[in-house]
Amino acid sequence: MSKSLLRRLGWQEASEEVKPGDSYRRSRGDKLTETVTVVDLRSDPAGIPHVRFKVAFERADVGRFEGGCRILALRSFIDAYRERISQTPASAA
């Protein structure tokens, strides 16, 4: 994803915070926890930055199950997944 594109869209800082290998978590009202791991960041054909990630769901009475890969626009991803639980070291990204 080009940095000039991100600057133009105002997402440069956000994309520098979200890196492949990073994991995030969010709790839902139904006692379900989603944990996601970023796979990559790219722009779609219209130039909108997107995050591709793997998701897993966990619930105390059911256990953990994998939910496959998903894609969200970068802004939507940042709004949805605010709690980072692990970060890829800068040298590894």
Tell which residue, 39, 42, 40, has the closest CA to residue 2.
Answer: 42
Residue 48 confidence (pLDDT) = 93
pTM across the whole model: 0.76
- The answer to whether residue 92 is domain-embedded is no
CATH no. for residue 23? Answer: 2.30.30
Cα-based angle 22, 27, 31 (whole degrees, multiple of 5): 140
| Cβ burial, residue 58 (10 Å; 0-12/13-18/19+) | middle
Hunting for tokens 């953990």 — which residue is that? 64
User: Residue 57: which domain range?
Assistant: 3-86
8 Å CB contact between 31 and 38? no
Question: With the C-alpha atoms ordered 13, 15, 19, 25, is the resulting torsion angle positive or negative?
Answer: positive
Residue 90 confidence (pLDDT) = 63
- The answer to whether residue 91 is domain-embedded is no
Structure tokens at 40: 């990559």
Residue 43 confidence (pLDDT) = 92
- The answer to whether residue 49 is domain-embedded is yes
- The answer to whether residue 31 is domain-embedded is yes
- The answer to whether residue 43 is domain-embedded is yes
How many domains does the structure of the chain reveal?
1
Q: What is the pLDDT along the chain (93 residues), one digit of tens a residue?
A: 444 444 444 555 555 689 999 999 999 888 899 999 999 999 999 999 999 999 999 998 889 999 999 999 999 999 999 999 988 776 454
